[in-house]
Amino acid sequence: MTTAHQQHTGHEHAHGEGCGHVAVPHGDHVDYAHDGHLHRAHDDHYDECEPADHAAHDGHEHAHGEGCGHVAVPHGDHVDYIHDGHRHAAHHDHYDEH
């Protein structure tokens, strides 16, 4: 569900434990929220790790928001919430997988 290999150029900051950015477990790697989007380490650089399409998360009864107990990650023009090992974003009357 992420974009094809898209390198994030001009990224001088090294992400890792204690780097000051939110770490988001994502499948077999960790993304870092930085500058309104997500980066992942790949070889000697960082790649963008963004959704490529619209994928609704079915059966999501929990409403995310301030005080919901899940980590909020600013992401472009909205906020994602880390829930069950992935990111959810409010979209109309449901949540999308990010």
**pLDDT given for residue 92 in this prediction:** 79
**pLDDT given for residue 57 in this prediction:** 65
**pLDDT given for residue 96 in this prediction:** 75
Q: Is the pTM of this model over 0.95?
A: no
Beta bridge partners of 15: none
Contact indicator for 49, 31 with CB cutoff of 8 Å: yes
Beta bridge partners of 91: 94
What does the pLDDT look like over 1-60, one tens digit per residue?
A: 444 566 666 777 788 888 888 888 777 888 888 777 778 888 887 787 766 555 666 677
**pLDDT given for residue 54 in this prediction:** 59
